[in-house]
Amino acid sequence: MALWLWACGSAGVAVPEQVVPAACGLCVFHMEGAKSCFWAVEIDGEHYAVSGVAPPFDMAVAHEEDGQCKVERQARVEGTLTADHRFVATSFELLPYDGSGRKGTKEHD
């Protein structure tokens, strides 16, 4: 487990290329304060909303059997963790779904 320290004015903490869980921050990860669907990743047990380079969000595709709102997937990522709890991706490759991972439980209106 990594300990992230933030300095005033820090640009963030670099995250070297690694494979991490990725899914909808609302539907699968149940991130506090989330009100709509968005890509999120889990790094060292913490969830981060993804900005920067990420797969596009498509509501129809997101709710397919292996979509971001239905299941946790694996992604090969690289980027920066910011002090405001975001992951700014410079690389985000969604890997093929292998049938494992958490399932989404959030029902949409």
Is residue 6, in this structure, part of any structural domain at all?
no
In the chain, the amino acid numbered 77 is: V
Read off the pLDDT of residues 48-99 as tens digits, 9 standing for 90 and up.
Answer: 999 998 887 777 788 888 889 999 999 999 999 999 999 999 999 999 988 8
Look at residue 56 in the predicted model and tell me its pLDDT. 76
Reported pTM? 0.84
Is residue 76, in this structure, part of any structural domain at all?
yes
Q: Which domain holds residue 50?
A: 13-94
Sign of CA dihedral 12, 52, 30, 72: negative
Is residue 106, in this structure, part of any structural domain at all?
no
Q: Which residue has the higher pLDDT, 2 or 101?
A: 101
In the chain, the amino acid numbered 89 is: A
CA angle 50, 63, 85 (to 5 degrees): 15
The three-class DSSP label of residue 82 is coil
User: Looking at the 3D structure of the chain, how many domains does it have?
Assistant: 1
Indicate the pLDDT class of residue 102, thresholds 50, 70 and 90.
confident
